[in-house]
Structure 1
Amino acid sequence: MLLWINGPFGGGKTQTAYEIRRRLPGSVVCDPEHAGFGLRRMLPPELRGNFQDLVSWRQGVVEVLDLALTRHDGVVIAPMTVTDSRYFAETVGRLRELGHDVRHFTLLAERETVVERLRERGLGHLLPHLAGRRSGRNAGPRRESWALQQLDHCLERLREEEFAEHLWTDQSTVPKTADRIAVLAGLTLRPNTEGRLRTRLRQARVGVAHIRFD
């Protein structure tokens, strides 16, 4: 089974994926973003854009996830934002055509909730971009700036029916969101026995490990 966890940047995709992995024996996280940034780094800086526009990324994601799903005995988890209908069909849709059991979930939250989560991640210096303020310099990592500029588009597109199952997370913690996904997918997670402090420290480590600067 593949759990594809969709949602806007700041929606909790990666944290939820690693929470499920932590509590589901035999599961693995296969992050399609790794392939994307690898392809992006191969290009001259002036040619680097949205790696999802590369056919090689879409085909490569399908090939790698197909291999993982075929050869790995446990659940495979892929946290990745996809808002383009064509790209969705060429990745999630194609894996289903290959006969894989793909469970797709989109994590949603109100705009204010996502902005607050980004602020808590230490990206507060980038938030003026969300309000449309102009600056003479592009502050902060370009990847985060681009993602913030795409926030409204992501929230609007991902509410469409084609990106169901929708899970609203405004009032939910990461462990509770993981529990909801498990129930909907017919999976059983280990009980969450962590205390609040340990959970925050572990989630901070996951967040730092997935910071990108290019």
Structure 2
Amino acid sequence: MIIWLNGSYGAGKTTTARELAALLPDARVFDSETVGALLRPVLAGVPVGNFQDWPPWRGVVVATATQVLRYTGGTLLVPQTVLSEEYWVELSAGFAEQGVPVRHVLLHCDPDTLTRRIRTDTAPESATAGPWRLRHREPYREALPWLRRAAEVVDTTDLTPAQTAAVIAAGREA
């Protein structure tokens, strides 16, 4: 099974995934951004705004996650923002074709909390990622209608990543 943690950039998906991995037996985190890093030099001449715009990214993510699950079993945790409904439908259909069940979880918080979290994030990569994350608050807001329909929503406004992971592990919505 895959638990796909979706949400705005800076919502705490990666931190929550690490916490969740500690709670679920045989769980491992699959950072699908590494697929983008793998494809970047190969597709350097094909300009895109986001590596998710490359159709091979979506196909390679499905193929890689499926192969990892078949090899290891357990649960694969994928902390990855997907704001394009078209891309989510493609990813979901790919997993369904492979017989891989996906639990799509949206980590959501109110806009003020998201802004505060992005601005106060002290992780080394946040110095450069922070402004980029802030610019993507509006695209996230625009995607919310379909995300709310397509995912189980966990409101993280008043939750720590550990508490969020506990909610997800318990299989309930917050």
Say whether the 8 Å CA contact 1:62–1:95 is kept in structure 2. yes
Who is 2:36 aligned against? 36
Question: Normalized against structure 1, the TM-score is what?
Answer: 0.71
1:153 aligns to 2:142 (yes or no):
no
Distance 1:144 1:38 in 2: 23
- The equivalent residue for 1:27 is 27
| Aligned match of 1:177 | 164
In 2, distance between residues paired with 1:106 and 1:48?
25
- How many residues are treated as equivalent by the alignment? 169
Aligned pair in 2 of structure 1 residues 59, 43: CA closer, same or farther (>3 Å)? closer
Provide closer, same or farther for how the CA distance between residues 90 and 61 of structure 1 changes in structure 2, counting only shifts above 3 A. same
1:83 positional shift: 1.2
Where does 1:68-83 land on structure 2 (aligned, <5 Å)? 68-83=68-83
Aligned to 1:52: 52
Q: Is the 8 A contact 1:27 1:77 kept in 2?
A: yes
Report what 1:86 is aligned to. Answer: 86
**1:165 match:** 152
Q: Aligned-residue CA RMSD in angstroms?
A: 2.3
- For residues 98-140 of structure 1, the C-alpha deviation after alignment (integer angstroms, 9 at most, x for no partner) is 21121110000111101111122149xx9xxxxxxxxxxxxx6
Larger radius of gyration: 1
Contact 1:40 1:48 in 2 (8 A): no
Deviations 1:125-177 (CA, angstroms, capped at 9, x unpaired):
x9xxxxxxxxxxxxx63x54333211121133134333321111101111111
SS at match of 2:157: coil
CA contact (8 A) 2:23 2:169 kept: no
Q: Distance in 2 between matches of 1:46 and 1:164?
A: 31
The answer as to 2:2 corresponding to 1:2 is yes
- State the distance in 2 between where 1:156 and 1:163 align: 14
Identity, in percent, stands at: 34
CA distance in 2, matches of 1:115, 1:77: 25
Q: Which has the higher contact order (CA 8 A, sep 6+)?
A: 2
Secondary structure of the residue aligned to 2:83 is coil
**Greater displacement, 85-94 / 159-168:** 159-168
SS at match of 1:47: coil
SS at structure 2 position matched to 1:19: helix
Amino acid at match of 1:172: L
Give 5+ residue unaligned stretches, structure 2: none
Q: TM-score, normalised by structure 2?
A: 0.86
